A = this chain, B = another copy of it.
């Protein structure tokens, strides 16, 4: 029995390992590089579990995270976020210590980088395959060429290939739409490979959203996958169809502090500073977390108690299912909507078991 008195993130190592091994196995079977995204957990311990499953190369989304993992012995890191040229000193420092890959999406930034990079680093060109957050249109060959040409002004910048994040899968309605985005993204990258492979025989294509990587095999010809969320999964991924509820490997254990039986609500100590304000829709309702039974040392997702329907800084308001009986002083487990944000917020209050 754990002694928990305040919101605490339980991390189920066995479930994490199963998620890691399943994805690593899929990568091996398909002969693609597995470069998991570490932004989800940002944890040296969880990183070690990946290492034990054979992972040698990782993805992060900031220079700060790259430095953190470099300090924990990771020496092959892609920062899958457009180069922030203001951090060039930190980038030079990192590139002098590890194999660093950067991400660019314009000839302007590539030009700045070419002038200011002082040690060897690889770079990917970010391609927008339909998410429309960042990246170059895959048909914008003139700009892609301009990026490559600017990079050639430097002796230190080495072209690694094309990278995309098919983030629109998160907003898809059903598996067929995800499949469409997944295959379309692959096809768009493969077109670029056709154009550039002769000139850059070692170039690679990198994809990697958790829904696509969980539900499908990598598109034939893709060289690398970079999923991150799958190590924990969460309610959003469950709603998308990427995972089973039993595969979610984290839950925030929260004390019940008040009950309002008339409106069938419980008040939890557990709010936006623990779970984030990310929500998803379950049966048309906005929810901030699925509340299930806490068992004393884990949680039972087959024993749902209700949903968080409202959240403020420290409060979570839970609508109780019919039959749910709670008392102040009880602990319940909240399966988070977006585990990346919850894990980040609760990083000082993890219990790994």
List the interface of chain A (C-beta within 8 A of B): 4-6, 39, 61-64, 81-87, 89-90, 105-106, 108-109, 112, 132-134, 167, 255, 257-260, 263, 267, 269, 272-273, 276-278, 310, 312-315, 317, 327-329, 331, 340-341, 344-345
Contact = CB atoms under 8 A, between A and B. Distances in A.
Contact of A310 (B133, B255, B258): B133
B344 A255 contact: no
B61 A328 contact: no
A211 to B, nearest CB: 15
A8 to B, nearest CB: 11
B39 A314 contact: yes
A228 B251 CA distance: 30
A6 B66 CA distance: 14
Nearest to A271: B61
Contacts of A63: 6
A64 B269 CA distance: 12
A258 B112 contact: no
A314 B61 contact: yes
Given A314-B39, A315-B134, A87 B6 contact: yes
B62 A109 contact: no
A6 B84 contact: yes
A107 to B, nearest CB: 11
Q: Which 7 A-B pairs have the closest CB atoms?
A: A82-B257, A5-B86, A277-B277, A85-B329, A82-B258, A61-B314, A109-B328
Q: How many copies does the complex hold?
A: 2
B258 A105 contact: yes
B257 A64 contact: no
A56 to B, nearest CB: 24
A69 B63 CA distance: 33
Given A85-B329, A106-B259, 7 more contacts: A39-B313, A81-B315, A83-B257, A106-B258, A273-B344, A277-B277, A277-B278
Decide if the interface of chain A is mainly helix, strand, loop or mixed.
Answer: mixed
B329 A313 contact: no
A84 B257 contact: yes
A13 to B, nearest CB: 23
B133 A267 contact: yes
A314 B133 contact: no
A79 to B, nearest CB: 10
Contacts of A344: 273, 313
Contacts of A62: 6, 269, 314
Contacts of A313: 39, 61, 340-341, 344
A341 B273 contact: yes
Contact of A134 (B82, B267, B345): B267
A328 B277 CA distance: 29
A90 B5 contact: yes
24 contacts: A4-B86, A5-B84, A6-B63, A6-B64, A6-B86, A6-B87, A61-B314, A62-B269, A62-B314, A82-B258, A82-B328, A84-B269, A106-B258, A108-B328, A109-B328, A112-B328, A112-B329, A132-B263, A133-B310, A134-B260, A273-B344, A276-B277, A277-B341, A313-B341
